Amino acid sequence: MSRKLYIKTFGCQMNEYDSSRMADLLHNTHGFVSTDDPNEADMVMLNTCSVRDKAQQKVYSQLGRWNSLKMENPDLIIAVGGCVASQEGEQILKRAPQVDIVFGPQTLHRLPDMLDQCIGQKKSRVDISFPEIEKFDCLPPARVDGPKAYVSIMEGCSKYCSFCVVPYTRGTEFSRPFDDVMTEIVELAEQGVREVTLLGQNVNGYRGPLYDGGVMEFSKLLYYVASVDGIDRVRYTTSHPIEVTDGLVVAHVAIPELAAHLHLPVQSGSDRILKSMKRGYTSAEYLAWIDKFKGVYSNLSISSDFIIGFPGETDEDFEQTMDLIDYVQYDQSFSFIYSPRPGTPAAEIEDTVPMQEKKARLMALQNRINGFAAEYSKGMVGTSQRLLVDGHARKSPQQLTGRTENNRVVNFDGPSSLVGRFVDVMITEALPNSLRGRLYPGSIKHAN
């Protein structure tokens, strides 16, 4: 009987991606099959995130819960990976001796060896080094079971924003070689993938080594990815404003496969706060890029990350953020209250904003952006939208569900044979969290 692996993932899409690669790897090397039930697992793994607070606490309380599993089954292997593992290292074994393996975001490919050593020598293993690109060389080809896939093209971050732990936990920026990225995408397309999302902490800072010593920049890479047979939609996240180029603006116009969506985190609309965050741009520079994109693209949906209540943020600073939001008219946001991260420069700045005030600001910001999003959804009623059909709708399984270019969920009636294909639908109704649509009669014939 095959051994079972349970993975609990905290955090961003990069972590989701890493978790699926770990499952692939342990399937190939040790025959592990994924399970949703930790109680029946032979190995349980936590893939952690430490971007915001309580990360450590969450990890240790989860490990406490898993201690009882280990008491029932002393052969159970417990592994901890990701950014908290990278930060805490050996400390994890001291506080949670039931843990067998600790590995960082850049050493997940060494898991099979660590597992063998741990079983053979009955001794815990810790490896949180940053061997960079070696990780990708050692991972098996990606396996997928749907029409969409993520592809990590660059890792780490060298920007050192004053509030962020990522450069310390995931290491400095490095890009995967162009040939490796393309091989992975061609293999995904051969397995039926129709949409890829290129991933990286600053994905548009990609500078992929070429076999002849040259460098492939991000905007050029997009043309190659979009030209792969079978890949009909390309997304990317997260971009950094200081890595945007005119070439990227042009790529959005020239590449039909590129989704009409831009995630460009601004964090704040106040130049004083941006400077203290060490973001490397002013609000005017950010807006100049937004203007360029909007100038060539009428239906571009724009989203951003925001940090509310950064130390020293005044009412006036916050108003500048709200003004910027009104100008851009964002469609979506990932907005969070500032969380001091030990070891980062911002954690040393005195935090004078009361929590109640931060919560009020966050709510005002989210309400404003939700208002824009509702308007966009209403404006989509009566329009034709291209969807990649993901599967059956969660709440009414007799219906199909798919996503538009601007990431809205649309539910509609149609045959199961359309799953994994693109269809054109007319949007008939905008609901708070999704849209309803109707298939165009010719759509089934033309779905590709």
In the DSSP assignment, the letter for residue 422 is: E
Place of tokens 């050593």: 117
Q: Is 172 or 370 the residue whose CB approaches ligand F3S more closely?
A: 172
> Least distance in Å: CB of 317 to ligand F3S?
18
Contact status: 336 vs ligand SAM (CB under 6 A): yes
- Should residue 307 be labelled a site residue for ligand SAM when binding is judged by CB under 6 A? yes
Q: Spell out, one character per residue from 334 to 373, where the chain touches ligand F3S: x when CB under 6 A holds, - when not.
A: ----------------------------------------
User: Which of ligand SAM, ligand F3S, none does 167 bind, CB closer than 5 to 8 A by kind?
Assistant: ligand F3S
Residues 45-104 that bind ligand SAM (CB under 6 A): 51-52
Q: Please choose, from the candidates 77, 69, 90, the residue with its C-alpha nearest in 3D space to the C-alpha of residue 122.
A: 77
Nearest residue (CB) to ligand SAM, 339 versus 399: 339
Sole binder of ligand F3S in the list 43, 85, 115, 161 (CB under 6 A): 161
Amino acid at 93: L
Instruction: Identify what 21 binds: ligand SAM, ligand F3S, none; CB under 5 to 8 Å per kind.
Output: none
**Binding region for ligand SAM (CB under 6 A) out of 1-9, 135-143, 270-278, 334-342:** 334-342
Beta carbons within 10 angstroms of residue 126's beta carbon: 20
Please state the closest distance from residue 253 (CB atom) to ligand SAM, in A: 23
CB 351 within 8 A of CB 311: yes
Structure tokens at 418: 């359309």
Nearest to 324 by CA among 292, 290, 357, 294: 290
Name the H helices within 246-334: 246-254, 271-277, 283-296, 315-328
How many other CB atoms are there within 10 angstroms of residue 101's CB atom?
Answer: 24
Q: In the complex with ligand SAM, which residue's Cβ is closer, 124 or 239?
A: 239
How many residues does the structure list for the chain? 448
208 contributes a contact to ligand SAM by CB under 6 A: no
Does 83 engage in binding with ligand F3S (CB under 6 A)? no
Query: How near is the Cβ of 406 to ligand F3S at its closest, in Å?
Result: 24
Binders of ligand F3S in range 197-236 (CB under 6 A): 201-202
CB 258 within 8 A of CB 226: yes
> Which residues partner with 392 through β-bridges?
400
Which does residue 160 bind out of ligand F3S, ligand SAM, none, counting CB within 5 to 8 angstroms by kind?
A: ligand F3S
Listed residue (60, 6, 58) closest to 37, CA to CA: 6
For position 202 contacting ligand SAM by CB under 6 A, the verdict is yes
| Cβ neighbourhood burial of 91 (10 Å; 0-12, 13-18, 19+) | middle
| 237 is a site residue for ligand F3S (CB under 6 A) | no
Which of 164, 188, 196, 221 lies at the binding interface for ligand SAM (CB under 6 A)?
164
- The β-bridge relationship of strands 148-152 and 125-127 is unpaired
DSSP 43-71: EEEEEE--SSTTHHHHHHHHHHHHHHHHH
Alpha helices in 144-231 (DSSP H): 166-170, 178-190, 218-226
239 or 401: whose CB is closer to ligand SAM? Answer: 239
Among 85, 164, 353, 365, binds ligand F3S (CB under 6 A): 164
Q: Which residues bind ligand SAM (CB under 6 A)?
A: 51-52, 163-164, 166, 201-202, 238, 240, 265, 267, 305, 307, 336, 338-339, 341
Q: Which residues bind ligand F3S (CB under 6 A)?
A: 157, 159-161, 164, 166-167, 201-202, 240
